[in-house]
């Protein structure tokens, strides 16, 4: 069963509580929270205070995607604010194993994200410690970008590897997911699909989640 993770990056920040409740009512399992620092990526978003403010409004799993340099500096703050899961970028940390341990010691699940051009090889000695791998299908930094099709084989390879190892690690795909690309990513082996503009950029975010769910359910029944 593929899960949907609406990204608040494209939500109306002035009506965030209301928007988050809408997607939860529509059955979204995970809320994706994009944190950007203006260094690792050329954009700035928000910090732990946003997670803390949203926490009382939702029972969804809070999936924090850190697009920040030296993520170890902020793990404890996001955990205290109510994150359930933290993903950081392989490209942004020099002590990958230590950061994974830090996240897990706080009782959260841990994931590593890879930019579209980053090889899977960098995960070789850490994969067994991960709860999630996030494969970016756009270059991180902005919502509303076009899905990079050449990442599809990378999703397939990772999915097959995880299946062979009988690991419980899940594959999340993030960037440019819409009604057309969601089935492609699901068919390639994605377990969780992040969608920002295809949900919160639509006039009716609740209907948008329902449509995405229908689009991926056709793949599951193949
Ligand atoms: O991590 C991200 C960008 O760096 C976002 O999660 C992602 O881009 C979602 O937005 P959209 O679905 O509009 O592409
Ligand atoms: Fe993201």
Atom number in ligand 1 closest to CA 144: 13
Q: Known binder of ligand: residue 32?
A: yes
Instruction: Place 221 in a pLDDT band, splitting at 50, 70 and 90.
Output: confident
- Give percent above pLDDT 90 in the chain: 97
pLDDT for residue 161:
98
The enclosing domain of 28 has a CATH number of 3.20.20.70
Number of domains in the chain: 1
What is the number of the ligand closest to the CA of 200? Answer: 1
Q: Known binder of ligand: residue 142?
A: yes
Q: Known binder of ligand: residue 143?
A: yes
Closest to 140 in 3D by CA, of 124, 151, 156, 127: 151
Q: Strands of 3-6's sheet, edge to edge?
A: 3-6, 192-195, 170-174, 132-136, 109-114, 85-89, 61-67, 30-36
* Phi, psi angles (nearest 5°) of residue 160: -65, -40
Residues annotated as part of the active site: 34, 174
Q: From the CB of 175, is ligand 1 less than 6 Å away?
A: yes
What is the number of the ligand closest to the CA of 196? Answer: 1
Instruction: Place 222 in a pLDDT band, splitting at 50, 70 and 90.
Output: confident
pLDDT for residue 220:
73
Q: From the CB of 102, is ligand 1 less than 6 Å away?
A: no
* Helical H segments across the chain, by residue range: 16-25, 48-54, 75-81, 96-105, 152-164, 181-188, 205-220
Interface ipTM? 0.98
Helix, strand or coil, per DSSP, at residue 148: coil
Q: Which domain holds residue 205?
A: 3-220
Task: Give pLDDT tens digits for 139-163.
Answer: 999 999 999 999 999 999 999 999 9
CA geometry: angle at 137 spanning 132 and 141, to 5°? 95
Atom number in ligand 1 closest to CA 43: 4
**75-104 per-residue burial string, b: 16 or more CB within 10 A, e: under 16:** beebbebbbbbbbbbbbbbeebeebbebbe
Task: Give pLDDT tens digits for 1-60.
Answer: 999 999 999 999 999 999 999 999 999 999 999 999 999 999 999 999 999 999 999 999
Candidate of 6, 11, 34 to mutate for ligand 1, largest count of ligand atoms within 8 Å of Cβ: 34
Ligand 1 midpoint to CA 213 (Å): 18
Task: Give pLDDT tens digits for 56-83.
Answer: 999 999 999 999 999 999 999 999 999 9
């Amino acid at each position: 069963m593929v899960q949907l993770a609406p990204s608040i990056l494209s939500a109306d920040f002035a009506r965030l509580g209301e928007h988050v409740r809408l997607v939860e009512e529509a059955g979204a399992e995970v809320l994706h929270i994009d944190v950007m620092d203006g260094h690792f990526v050329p954009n700035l978003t928000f910090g732990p205070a946003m997670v803390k403010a949203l926490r009382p409004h939702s029972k969804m799993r809070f999936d924090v995607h850190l697009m920040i340099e030296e993520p170890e500096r902020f793990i404890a703050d996001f955990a205290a604010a109510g994150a359930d899961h933290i993903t950081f970028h392989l490209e942004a940390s020099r002590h990958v194993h230590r950061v994974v341990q830090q996240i897990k010691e706080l009782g959260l699940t841990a994931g590593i994200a890879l930019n579209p051009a980053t090889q899977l090889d960098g995960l070789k000695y850490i994969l067994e410690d991960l709860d999630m791998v996030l494969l970016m299908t756009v270059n991180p930094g902005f919502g509303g970008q076009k899905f990079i099709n050449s990442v599809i084989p990378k999703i397939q390879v990772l999915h097959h590897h995880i299946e062979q190892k009988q690991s419980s690690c899940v594959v999340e795909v993030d960037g440019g997911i819409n009604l057309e690309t969601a089935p492609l990513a699901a068919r390639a082996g994605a377990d969780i699909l992040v969608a920002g503009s295809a949900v919160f950029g639509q006039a009716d975010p609740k209907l948008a989640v329902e449509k995405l769910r229908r689009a991926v359910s056709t793949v599951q029944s193949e």
